[in-house]
Amino acid sequence: MKVGFIGLGVMGGPMAANILKGGHSLTVFDLNPASVATLTAAGAKAAASPRDVGAASDIVVTMLPLPSHVEQVYLGPNGVAEGMARGGLVIDMSTIDPQTSKRVGKALRERGIAMVDSPVGKTSEHAVTGTLTLMVGGEPADIARAKPVLDCMGNQTFLCGGLGAGHAMKMTNNLLATTIMCANTEALAIGVKEGLTLELMVEVMKTTMAWNQQLAVAMPKKAFIGDDSPGFMVKLAAKDVRLAVDAAKALGFQALVGEGALATLDRAASLGYAERDTAALMKIREDELGIRVRPQAQPKAA
């Protein structure tokens, strides 16, 4: 298939590369020339605009930071809709709110272009290996058309409902994952300040309801070794939680836990960590309390 890809960041770049590896022709666009160069070196064609991507493609995939970017890329001047032929299909894999997805999908449908939303779960490592979790929303026939491309990027697919349902699932997932991360850093920092070791806390928590995947998988790879190099950046985590908090307000209630996580993330951004990994939350707690939450060095055997 002739596939287009717009948004070649930490996640989008390797996802696009896996579409190439899947045997599809690929046309790409990104505001970062270096990201485009990486894909063209692997065999993709570069486009000058989203419109040109649409004109060259049967299916266009987007992986963009904000809802406004999605609207602009698809419906704005020189956007995908201006170039794509009727009968085309787009797959938005960004993390945005369901309402924007439905609004963009309706406008595209009026131009004869179908839309599927398929935000992703897991990490940039899984983007490289093509083993992402895919949360898909859309009409069954459109999802079936998208499947050969989606299968290049993920190995677990969940059909969530109509258009926008994938984004609803991702918003819900990221609200919970991020609030758990914030709670972990807070609890562990307090424990260490009170004289406990990370090893003891982890050993105990494995036996209680406190245990979670952030403690088991994500934090040992990043936060517990002091690595806040960009993966899931603080500013993107804040954007995701804000989407969920705003959705809660629209539904008529206050997401108090989500608001607490958002305040934590906004504070991290104000301290200069907006473009660092959320592992930076652990570092901030450590600095505030004058401690280090790290595995204790094991003595070498005699």
Residue 138 φ then ψ, to 5°: 150, 180
DSSP 137: E
β partners of residue 90: 60, 115
- Rounded to the nearest angstrom, the gap between the alpha carbon of residue 13 and the centroid of all alpha carbons in its chain is 13
Of 102, 170, 239, 283, which residue is the catalytic one?
A: 170
C-beta separation of 56 from 50 below 8 A: no
Of 138, 147, 152, nearest in space to 104 by CA = 138
Cα separation, 233 vs 182, in Å, equals 14
Q: Is 170 a catalytic residue?
A: yes
| CA distances, 42 to each of 22, 30, 151, 220, 297 (Å) | 13, 15, 19, 33, 42
Q: In the chain, how long is the greatest CA-to-CA distance?
A: 74
Residues identified as active-site: 170
